Amino acid sequence: MGLLALGTALDWPEAKKQAHLVRSWGIRQLLEIWNKAKGKERDAMLWGDEVEYLVVIYSKDDPKVLLSLRQADILEALANDKTIGKEGCTPTLPDGSNDEAHYSYRLNQPFPVFHPEFGRFMLEATPGKPWGIDFKELLKVEPNMKLRRCIAKDHMLPNEYPITLTTFPRLGSPGVFTEPFYPVSGPKLRSQFVPDEIANPHIRFPTLAANIRSRRGRKVQVNVPVYRDVETPWPWKDPTVNYDLHQWPEDDDVRNGAAPDNFIHMDAMAFGMGSCCLQITFQAKNLTEGRQMYDQLSPLGPILLALTAATPIYKGFLADTDVRWNQISRAVDDRTPEELGEKPLQNDRWRIPKSRYASNSTYISEDRRLRPEYLDPDLVIDESIKQQLLDGGMDDRLATHFAHLFIRDPIVIFSEDLKELDLNKTDHFENIQSTNWQHMRFKPPPADNSIGWRVEFRPMEIQITDFENAAFAVFMVLITRVILSFDLNFYIPIGKVDENMETAHARDAVLTRKFHFRRNLFPAVRASRGSSSGSSTPTGTASRPPSPVGPVEDEYRLMSVNEIINGTAYAKAFSQQQRQEDNNHVPEDDEFPGLIPLVESYLDSVNVDVVTRCELETYLDLIRKRASGELWTTAKWIRHFVGCHPDYKKDSVVSERITKDLVEAVVRIGQCEAKGKGFGELYGPGGEVPDFERLMGRHR
Ligand code: ADP
Ligand code: MG
Ligand code: MG
Ligand code: MG
Ligand code: MG
Ligand code: MG
């Protein structure tokens, strides 16, 4: 998130008055870049990842782990020291050693880019420049992620560590969880659980939180179902909620029912935007390909969310869900009671079914395979904005997408930016665009048109190790190449993608749930789009003749993640081997090839050297085994860690001691990985991290 220049941020009542102006200027800026960039061709197939970290304070002898709020100091230290492999920055390993050989790759690495994030205990890091098309680039990702972590650590205090848990298990729990400590509650968040100082102090962030709250007319309500264990009192009342506060009007929220039974109750943006994720941005060769990538990756979002599940704990309790998504959605839900449908429409323009952080609402490609039935007939759009875009030369479908994003108000407005419209900037457009957090983002080129049309894949949860993060990043890159080279068709009705997103929240959804997924991914054999060159059918996978267009409902069916990722044949064989009941009686003509076998076919069809192929195989193997259940998701491993801990009383409470031991395990995993020697010693005498092999497999 690029920081806007400092200025005077308007409070909500003032910002609201300027919302229309910002939207109309934003649309003019969008049209400007549209007209400049719509004909851009032959942009390189670049891509880049983003990794987010929590900064924790941990030492062996201290019974507590805390979140460090030194983001600004750490970023400043990083900004003042940008040399790698030269004097000034020799990454020191977390164990204090200085393994030159292991860091030899750093000599050819540009300095990574570190970014601030919403939480003052967070950091984001991206590679110094985007990755290229070469397969060898895929092998640079993991060392680069390790380098980033190492450099970050190098600019922290000895007891501070960058860790990649999605959430801090005891964020918002009673007592002290930050260093320094700040009391609740502050004027911006008005949270009874976290102080205002939890947010990045740059005025943009507290204003974002305060104006969302103000627009809603009450605090955000982030309620996540608590996991019911054998000793969990039932009905369960969140014991950390204070019903007797009378400092802010919003203190009434809990007295008005904001904290229902059997839910962990949270009341501030930090509980959502304080979570870490893994994002991948792809540059397309042109606009058409960008729109195709956006649509085709969209149905994969929920599958990858389930597969990367890593968020089973909130505010010191086990949750009954495994992923962060809905919590972030609720943490930034600025809808008014009218928009939510709780009151008749009077002052607001629409009822809006989703938060501004939510799964994709529409498809954007002009692909002729996109049947009208896949689109949401009730999509809320701003008709006058759509008309402006059409008048400006944009096609109907893309105009619809942006006219949907632009139903939202800009939340943070700086008065200095309202003096005159600058068509050489995209600030007003980005104001709306960057606060529409869908699971994909379609990124137009910047105002100077220097780079191409990009598509961002946003649903994945961050993983504990860089090996896993690299595996998921690489897998998504390969899938994207497969989609483009085989011209695959993943379309299902967009409402089914929404449904899948909900399904992905279930505990261990990978193994316990099924997802709507398209049966036949292959293009029609005869009538392929445009030229028939460029699209081939992968060897070894059955391609059927095009079926005549039938009911949309026949095009997809429910599949397990194992079937989707590994294919029906593998899933069946695996369940037999595991002596599991095979309740997927897949009719022969309903065999699904699986995404990993498609990636393998693709790799077979291009020239990849043996060494690269073997390395890529270790990544694919992780994905394969996570999908089959042979390896566990991070969420499952964390649940297991808590469940086996001697301090756990089977009452859903994740105590300070458990949190400390969990963070210690994660820090140890990081130290082991940084040494570049795999995880061997995590199994060794005295160095065990409980059941770590179930997460990673023994051979890592
Ligand atoms: P945001 O936070 O807005 O998503 P960031 O700048 O933090 O954006 O990260 C975007 C990612 O896109 C980074 O990994 C970066 O390396 C990558 N990237 C930058 N330029 C390009 C490009 N032209 N094509 C593809 N990826 C790019
Ligand atoms: Mg970023
Ligand atoms: Mg960002
Ligand atoms: Mg971002
Ligand atoms: Mg980020
Ligand atoms: Mg991003």
Output the DSSP codes for 241-310.
--S---SSGGGGGGGGTSS-TTEEEE-STHHHHT--BEEEEEE-SSHHHHHHHHHHHGGGHHHHHHHT--
The mean pLDDT value for 565-574 works out to 91
pLDDT in tens, 487-497: 999 999 999 99
Atom of ligand 1 nearest to the CA of 43: 23
Please name the residue whose Cα sits nearest to atom 11 of ligand 1.
48
| pLDDT number for residue 528 | 39
Could you tell me how far CA 156 lies from the centroid of its own chain?
A: 25
| pLDDT number for residue 699 | 65
Q: Are strands 66-68 and 160-163 parallel, antiparallel or unpaired?
A: unpaired
Residues with CB under 6 A from ligand 1: 1, 46-50, 115, 126-127, 130, 279, 281, 283, 451, 454, 456
Angle among Cα 130, 131, 135 to the nearest 5 degrees reads 175
Rounded to the nearest 5 percent, the helix, strand and coil shares of the chain are: 40, 10, 50
Nearest to 196 by CA among 258, 255, 248: 248
Question: For the ranges 85-99, 577-591, 603-617, which has the lowest average pLDDT?
Answer: 85-99
Percentage of residues in the chain having pLDDT higher than 70: 90
pLDDT band (50, 70, 90) for residue 531? very low
Across the chain, how many H-helices and E-strands are there?
A: 23, 17
| pLDDT number for residue 317 | 98
Distance CA 334, CA 339 (A): 9
| pLDDT number for residue 110 | 81
Going from the Cα of 512 to the center of ligand 2, the distance in angstroms, rounded, reads 33
Query: Any residues with CB less than 8 A from the CB of 316 and at least 6 apart, and which?
Result: 169, 170, 172, 173, 240, 653, 654, 655, 659
Backbone angles phi and psi of 411, in degrees to 5: -95, -40
pLDDT in tens, 139-183: 999 989 998 998 999 899 999 999 999 999 999 999 999 999 999
- Residue 107: pLDDT over 50: yes
Please name the residue whose Cα sits nearest to atom 25 of ligand 1.
47
Going from the Cα of 49 to the center of ligand 1, the distance in angstroms, rounded, reads 7
436 vs 15, 128, 264, 441, 511, CA distance in Å? 17, 26, 26, 9, 31
Going from the Cα of 253 to the center of ligand 3, the distance in angstroms, rounded, reads 30
Q: Which amino acid is at 350?
A: W
| pLDDT number for residue 542 | 46
- Residue 335: pLDDT over 50: yes
Percentage of residues in the chain having pLDDT higher than 90: 83
